[in-house]
A and B are shown apart, each in its own frame.
Chain A
Amino acid sequence: MNTMIIAENVVKSFGQGTERRNVLDGVSVDIAAGDFVAIMGPSGSGKSTLLFALSGMDAVDGGRVVFDGVDLSQLSDDALADVRRRRMGFVFQQPTLLRNLSVLDNIILPSMRDGRKRARQIREKARILMETTGIAELEARDVTQASGGQLQRVGICRALMSDPAVIFGDEPTGALNSTASNEIMALLADIHRSGTTIVLVTHDPKVATRAERVLFILDGRITGEHLAGAHDASREDLRVREGALSGWLTEMGI
């Protein structure tokens, strides 16, 4: 498989002077096209920072991140924005939707940035995605009128609008109840099956169970990797995978 993302000896620091500390301390990782990777670790271990570095949303202080053959540190802010808009999708813990816009407008917003002339196709595509994700009835609604699970689906629809190569998720189910969480993860698994690379950060083993690779990060370094392989998403399969992951996490000290 082609390598989609290469992180080489990535360093990211916060704070100033003597207070400055490396949140990422020489992280190296390769993510192949079509991978489903979960990054786990305790609070403050640097997992979200790694996700932001891999997606080019945060500039790194050392090392480099290569996305689809392009060194992200060499790109300008605007070129990075173009890459994010055209090749990446994002799903955050909170819905990160614009309150002034309707649900449909939020979904099509990034695509309308340079596709205004294709407005009709964009609208149609958004409707299909909403239909697929089960939120068709929200189209004209205000974002404040939707539930947390629905909003997360809106976020996923928005992420899928550009047919991204990768979807990055930062605790995408962190604010949801277990039912909604399962539904969202099932959705992401479907998306992955269609060929999209997925990289997500989570502290929830149930969520990580869906991933093929689980990276464990501690004090800014990747200290372990659990290869779970592909799954059939059956309850039984998931239960077995969850058991294996729990055992590994115990080994990692959690």
Chain B
Amino acid sequence: MYLRAIRNDVLRSKAISITTMLFVAAAAMLVALAATLVVNLSGAIDALMQRAQTPHFMQMHVGDLDRARLDAFAEAHASVADHQVLEFLNIDGAQFVFGSRSLAGSVQDNGLTVQSESFDFLLDLDGEVISVKDGEIYVPLTYLQDGSARIGERATVAGHTMTVAGPLRDSQMQPLLSSSKRFLVSHDDFEAIRPSGRVEYLIEFRLHDLAALSAFETAYTNAGLEANGPTLTYPLFRTVNGLADGLMIAVLLLVSALVIAIAFLCIRFTLLAKIEDDYREIGVMKAIGLRVSDIKRIYLAQYAALAAVGGLVGYALSFLFQGALLENIRLYLGESANASLAPVLGLVGVALVFVAIVAYVNGVLGRFRKVAPADAIRFGNAPKASPGRRRLRLTMNGLLGTNAFLGLQDVLARRNLYATMLVVLVLAAFIIIVPRNLHHTIASESFVSYMGVGDVDLRIDVTQAEDAAARVAEVATAIGNDADVARFVVLTTKAYRASLDDGSEGRITAELGDHSMFPITYASGRAPSSDDEIALSVMQASDLGKGVGDVLSLTIAGRERALTVSGTYSDVTNGGKTAKATFADETAEPMRSVIGAELTDPALLDAKAAEYAARFEFAKVSDLDEFIQQTYGSTIGAIGVASYAAIGVAVATTVLITLLFMRMLVAKDRHAIAVMKAFGFTNSDIRAQYLARSAFVLVIGILVGTLLANTLGEALAGAVIASFGANSFAFVVDPAFAYLWSPLLMLLATLIATVAGTWDAGRIRVAENLRE
């Protein structure tokens, strides 16, 4: 019986059944894909980090190194399972030449290393520890992917010639967000090139139990061991490895949530229309003694069938697309150890979608309880709203044309019905505006203020070196004497010990200099303006449990000084934990310096960048756009593509849902349309009334959607950006798009869909519908 009822119902409303099924299929596919990606991503990261034996704690350092003291420290701490010091031979990008191309334009710290003997292995694409021969160089996968290097071609590093033997997977420095890249060479080649580079030490520890990491970090800091470079830990490596694909999963989940919402709306609309149509039958069924649960089952069966078929189709489709989405994970991270779990989890996801739909339908069908058999049989429909609720009267209408008035009146009188279309339009406006605003914000000039640097034209990085101070002074002098430089600032990062509230000591890296010249955006408070103030990055502040106005004690030049926190700011650089201060200190060793400059004529940028790059080979010279492009270019590009895709999806959804909605509305209103035609309303009048209905709903939809996009959407986008370490996110709205093009686009889509959806109204024959 159910089967026949289902078949009849589906055949009777083919378009809406197929659309509902398509949305369910899309939702199921996206959920299954997200589940598959989650399993593969987490599994692949685990597998990679396990095979590579990624260090649990790594301290970078330049300069003298007391190995005996390090060994003694490791020996004295029971939590240490193994430790080692690896050398990273930092070489200027221009010295890496593959074929005829060099890495001169790279903003990464590129360097050579040899294969480790105990842990932190560099792996090949099969996940095996690479055994490198003399004359071979293994290149970070990223460079092979972007075409900087090709397998088999000649590689010259600082004049030493080798052959590119293959790609390497690096469990800690692989992502673009990680600022260093390791190339693997043999011992002999390394030694041959050593004089051309600058050695940085990677002091690495593996612990017996990762839970002891925090205590170990404190112990290392308190021991006063070598620590003039960044400190990185296992959880951070894990996060950075998963960030890019994690974002994709987050976007997939967000989109699937929206698609599920639209599927729910489709179901709600058709179900309510159906209940209205079948009101008398429902009353009769109740009158003859069928239980509500029995009646519900008949309706539930149809939607369960739609959801089941849609779910299975979606699940099958997910296999079609997962190859492409998993490609990135497989390439950069390798196979997941528990990949076989993915199809099961995908199916669980689809099952959840199915259960959610059935539960939702069951909830909507709860309305059956309110059907009074006597009323249903006598009147054939639900009791109408009380007349007192109706405020609009044609007799009082002085503003709108009669057709526009009838459109508005209908929307208000049947607002529950139009709520479906309204929600779809709100979602569509939201989906169009949020990704676009996010893209516009990230791509905007002011976004650099989230990177811990003000809006400078030229950025010159001088990293840790024994004679760094002299080098910085040399660059500063040159810049100061350059007539093309309007103004510049030198910011030097140094490390200090901080006394924490719990009595222990921590380590803080503070960037010293004038922070007012190229100001950044502060999440709270302001830039430090006096020697006894310090500003903390949001992550650092949260780590220390400090806020604006709190006092932080730092040991400066051997003396403990209390600094007041003047502000907090977002920073996506150097692991997100940084500080800014203005005090002068000549005692601490500089870790790195950044010289930011503004040119008198921005057109000179390329020439100046080239000039300083050639003049100061030890420095990394980049214009800010290039810096952003290389660090975040792919992310910005991906979000740009996603924003256009979102516009496409939203417009297509708007057209589809409006079209179906209007078709259903016309079918539902056949009698009313016939009545109006009988009394002399033309087809154009009828169409104008439907256009007015769409337009009213659209106006509210756009207003609410835009409002939500700029509030809730901003918060959501802020959460995405926060995953990069930037807080206090605010949209840089593209007003022309958000307030002109987007509404126009939606208006056009809705109006076209309304005209197409109401075309049948012209074919409604008065006589057929009014003949008694």
Question: Is the CB–CB distance between A113 and B680 below 8 Å?
Answer: yes
Name the residue on B nearest A161 (C-beta).
Answer: B679
With A57-B767, A119-B398, A142-B390 as given contacts, are A100 and B681 in contact (CB-CB < 8 Å)? Answer: no
Are the CB atoms of A109 and B679 closer together than 8 Å? yes
User: Which of the residues A100, A141, A171 comes within 8 Å of B409, measured between beta carbons?
Assistant: A100
* Contact of B765 with A by CB under 8 A: yes
Which chain B residue shows the least CB distance to A139?
B395
- Chain A residues with CB below 8 A from B672, complex form: 98
Task: Decide: A112 and B766 in contact? CB cutoff 8 A.
Answer: no
Would B766 and A170 count as touching, CB distance under 8 A? Answer: no
CA distance A162 to B676 in the complex (A): 15
B667-704 near A? 1/0 per residue, CB < 8 Å: 00001100111111111110000000000000000000
Any chain A CB within 8 A of the CB of B762? yes
- List, in ascending order, chain A residues with CB within 8 A of B681's CB: 81, 85, 110, 113
Q: Which residues of B contact A96 (CB under 8 A)?
A: 671, 675, 678, 770
A183 at the interface (CB under 8 A from B): no
Question: A20 on the interface (CB 8 Å rule)?
Answer: no
**Residue of chain B at shortest CB distance from A85:** B680
**Across the interface, do B680 and A102 meet the contact criterion of CB distance under 8 Å?**
no
A85 to B676, CA, bound (A): 10
Give A80-109 interface residues, CB cut-off 8 Å to B: 81-86, 90, 92-94, 96-102, 104-105, 108-109
Chain B, interface SS category: helix
Q: Which residues of B contact A112 (CB under 8 A)?
A: 394, 402
Which residues between 241 and 292 of chain B lie within 8 Å of chain A, taking CB atoms?
none
Question: Could you tell me if A81 and B677 are in contact, using CB atoms closer than 8 angstroms?
Answer: yes
Q: B401 at the A/B interface (Cβ < 8 Å)?
A: yes
Q: In the complex, what's the smallest C-beta–C-beta distance from A117 to chain B, in angstroms?
A: 10
Q: Are B772's CB and A92's CB within 8 A?
A: yes
Complex interface bits, B645-676 against A, C-beta within 8 A gives 1, otherwise 0: 00000000000000000000000000110011
Whether B390 and A102, one on each chain, are in contact in the complex, defined by CB atoms closer than 8 angstroms, is yes
A90-B384 in contact given A96-B770, A108-B395, A174-B772 (Cβ < 8 Å): no
Interface size on B, residues (CB 8 A): 34
Among A49-97, those with CB < 8 Å from B are 49, 52, 57-58, 77-78, 81-86, 90, 92-94, 96-97
Answer whether residue A48 sits at the interface, using C-beta atoms and an 8 A cutoff.
yes
CB neighbours (8 Å) of B684 from chain A are: 78
List CB contacts (< 8 Å) of B330-385 with chain A: 384
Q: Is the CB of B683 within 8 A of A145?
A: no
Q: Given A85, A99, A105, A144, which contacts B679 in the complex, CB threshold below 8 Å?
A: A85
| B675 and A82 contacting across the interface, CB-CB below 8 Å | no
A58 in contact with B767 given A109-B394, A113-B680, A174-B772 (CB within 8 Å)? yes
A110-B679, A113-B681 given as contacts; is B410 within 8 A of A105 (CB)? no
Contact with B along A166-183 (1 / 0, CB 8 A): 000011001000000000
Query: Closest residue of chain A to B677, judged by CB?
Result: A81
B378 to chain A, nearest CB (A): 12
Q: Find residues 516-536 in chain B having any chain A CB closer than 8 Å to their own CB.
A: none
The answer to whether B393 has its CB under 8 Å from any CB of chain A is yes
Contact B766 A52 (CB under 8 A): yes
The answer to whether B682 and A116 touch across the interface, beta carbons within 8 angstroms, is no
For the complex, give the distance between the alpha carbons of A116 and B410 in Å: 19
Interface status of A192 (Cβ within 8 A of chain B)? no
Residues in chain B within 8 A of chain A (CB atoms): 384, 387, 390, 393-395, 397-398, 401-402, 409-410, 413-414, 671-672, 675-685, 762, 765-767, 770-772
Chain A residues packing against B (C-beta within 8 Å): 48-49, 52, 57-58, 77-78, 81-86, 90, 92-94, 96-102, 104-105, 108-110, 112-113, 116, 119, 123, 140-142, 144-145, 158, 162, 170-171, 174
A to B CB contacts below 8 Å, 16 in the list: A58-B766, A81-B683, A81-B685, A84-B680, A85-B681, A96-B671, A97-B675, A100-B390, A101-B409, A102-B387, A102-B394, A110-B679, A110-B680, A112-B394, A142-B387, A142-B390
The 10 closest A-B pairs by CB, nearest first: A85-B680, A58-B767, A142-B387, A52-B767, A105-B394, A78-B682, A100-B413, A110-B679, A57-B766, A93-B772
